Amino acid sequence: MNDVSSRAAASALKAAGYEPVSVQPINEGANHFVFDAVLADGRSVIVKFAKTRAAELGLQPRNTDTLFGGPLSPEREAYLFGLAAGAGLPAPEVYGLHEDATRRKFIVLQKMPGVSHKEYLRRSGYTMAAFLDSVRALARDFAKLHKALAFRSFGDILGENVLNPAMADNFADRFMDVCDMHLDRGERKSAFTSNERQFIRDALKTRFDALRPKLTVSAATPVMVFTDMHGDNFFVDENGVPSGYFDLESSQAAPAALEFYGFRFFLFNYFDHDAFLRAGDAFFQTYEASGGPYAPDDFAVTDLLAACRLMELAQSYWGHADGVRDTWGAGMKDLLFHFLETGEVDYIKVGSLFRMRDGQPYKAI
């Protein structure tokens, strides 16, 4: 699909009845061309057009979620924002769903206030106090979310009473299907040999089978899980309190563990091991104190889901070359095999790979 230019985005906005004063591209988002626009009435809006990530061309249908394989659409995204807002979390208002002259769909959203979590940490001087304050604020929000929204089954949240697949009673089955999708892509991209693919699949399935009793609908209530909570995907205010959750397109009905692994994988490990432990303690103590119902009694499920993300990132970044993430594919693959051999996810080494891009200090101040 052709790129969308700022001029084309402005033209699409005008045709849809808006009056754009300025339209600037935002270089974020694997699944969208994103623009920051100011309208004549003074509103700042975000405009998103669907795209297929270059690394996935030929490997998946267009308008497909790269993480879980479900369909993406502006209608789905608008519904997800409504769910989050209904649970009391800050999510953008949807101003409109439209099509441009080429019948490409786009969505116009409220621009949320605040700065990215990573920018907040930088402005705060990378202090431990600021880091832990923001973690506690996240815990309060996700306790609220998990109390408010539960589902009958596991899968992509597509609309009211619509999940994909239609009925999945055990999350082990649901997630092995997702793993198979990524293993297939990994072999096709030569990230995994045929023998490696089979070894990885057998090892993951053995672990999922062992955890099946913990992954039934009754034992692991499906709740709304945002799934991709890294530091560029939500905004916070000057105190680290979330002010905008705006990357919800992959949201799942899933065990809360699918969110918790992401916090350990992308956020708690932003600094060293000491900060990782302190962040985990701060989060789960606050989550439980705020009435969060699903704090884990151990991290067996979250670690397995983290290993699955290592596998996904290994294939996703395999062969990727941008001067920053050139070694991420191989690095994630090494960390995956470390887990398969030892049963341990080295979250600090995962964070060190991300540090190659983000540049934060190893220790909080």
Q: How far apart are alpha carbons 184 and 289 in whole angstroms? A: 42
Encoded tokens for 138: 């996240």
Same domain, 123 and 168: yes
Is 231's pLDDT higher than 90? yes
Structural domain contains residue 290 = yes
Nearest to 175 by CA among 127, 207, 132: 207
Structure tokens at 4: 């969308």
Q: How far, in Å, CA of 262 to CA of 267, rounded?
A: 8
Asked if 90 and 131 sit in the same domain, the reply is no
Predicted local distance difference test score (pLDDT) of residue 271: 98
Cα-only R_g, the chain: 20
Domain count, the chain: 2
Same domain, 30 and 124: no
**Are residue 123 and residue 42 in the same domain, yes or no?**
no
Decide if pLDDT at 133 tops 80. yes
Give residue 287's pLDDT. Answer: 98
Percent of the chain past pLDDT 90, that is, above it, reads: 90
Q: How confident is the model at residue 167 (pLDDT cuts 50, 70, 90)?
A: confident
Cβ atoms 35, 6 nearer than 8 A = yes
**Domain final residue pick, 110, 136, 170:** 110
Has residue 80 been placed in a domain? yes
Task: Answer yes or no: is pLDDT of 60 > 80.
Answer: no
The answer as to whether 8 is a domain residue is no
Residues of 143-160 as b/e, b for ≥16 C-beta within 10 angstroms? bbbbbebebebbbbbbee
Mean pLDDT across the chain: 94
* Secondary structure (3-state) at 79: helix
Q: Are residues 73 and 206 in the same domain?
A: no
Nearby residues of 175 by Cβ (< 8 Å), 6 or more positions away = 208, 305, 308
pLDDT greater than 90 at residue 118: yes
The CATH number for 336's domain is: 3.90.1200.10
Q: How far apart are CA 318 and CA 255, in angstroms?
A: 29
Q: Where are the beta strands (DSSP E) in the chain?
A: 20-26, 32-39, 44-50, 94-99, 105-110, 115-116, 155-159, 162-164, 223-225, 234-236, 242-245, 252-254
Q: What are phi and psi of 296, to 5 degrees?
A: -75, 150
Quick one: 123 and 236 in the same domain?
Answer: yes
Query: Do 210 and 180 share a structural domain?
Result: yes
CA 332 to the chain's CA centroid: 17
Is residue 9 situated within a structural domain? Answer: no
Asked if residue 73 has pLDDT above 60, the reply is: yes
Q: Considering the domain boundaries, does residue 60 fall inside one?
A: yes
Crossing angle of helices 300-316/171-188, nearest 10°?
Answer: 20
pLDDT digits (tens, 9 = 90+) for 210-222: 999 999 999 999 9
Look at residue 1 in the predicted model and tell me its pLDDT. Answer: 43
Query: Residue holding tokens 């060293």?
Result: 272
Flag whether pLDDT at 61 surpasses 80. no
Least confident interval from 9-18, 177-186, 320-329: 320-329
CB 34 within 8 A of CB 47: yes
Tokens representing residue 40 in the block? 């004549």
Residue 284 domain-assigned (yes or no): yes
> pTM of the prediction?
0.93
